Amino acid sequence: MLQRIQSIWLLLAATCAFLSFQFPFYTGTNAELIPSAILDGKTTIPIILTTAAIGITSLICIFLYKNRKLQLRLTVLCIALEALLIFLYYTQVKTFTGGTYALTALLQGCVAFFLFLAARGINHDSKIIKESNRLR
């Protein structure tokens, strides 16, 4: 029997991605000397698009359980997008003159971790299917 634990990991990754729209990644004084500037998922267009793409693609991957190869490819694409998103966040942090990372900045690490666990689960299911076909 296939274990669909990767559906839970994908749902958690999508949830964390969408939560990053609401919670700050970094707060501080930005280059325009605004003292309480907040960097979150809706700060710049590239961050918005990348965050939305990760969340939506993670949700789509949940329903692609019959096509594990495509599901795995999209999950790996999401991991690459998450790496890009973390890079975008850190380049935006450099525009601040001072401030602190919010505790919710860990959401980005959680998204990457959950996507990695989902990819492992999808790969594990593929191995189970290959092994069961070999036994027949």
Q: What residue spans define the domains of the chain?
A: 5-135
Q: Give 128's strand partners.
A: none
Residues whose CB falls within 8 Å of the CB of residue 77, separated by 6 or more in sequence, listed in order: 57
**pTM, to two decimals:** 0.89
Q: Does residue 6 contact residue 76 with C-beta atoms inside 8 Å?
A: no
Dist CA 129 CA 124 (whole Å): 9
**Hey, which CATH number is domain 5-135, 1.20.140, 3.30.450, 1.10.3470, 1.10.3210?**
1.20.140
pLDDT, one tens digit for every residue, the chain (136 residues)? 355 899 999 999 999 999 999 999 998 888 777 778 888 888 899 999 999 999 999 999 999 988 999 999 999 999 999 999 999 999 999 888 888 899 989 999 999 999 999 999 999 988 888 888 777 6
Question: Which amino acid appears at position 133 of this protein?
Answer: N
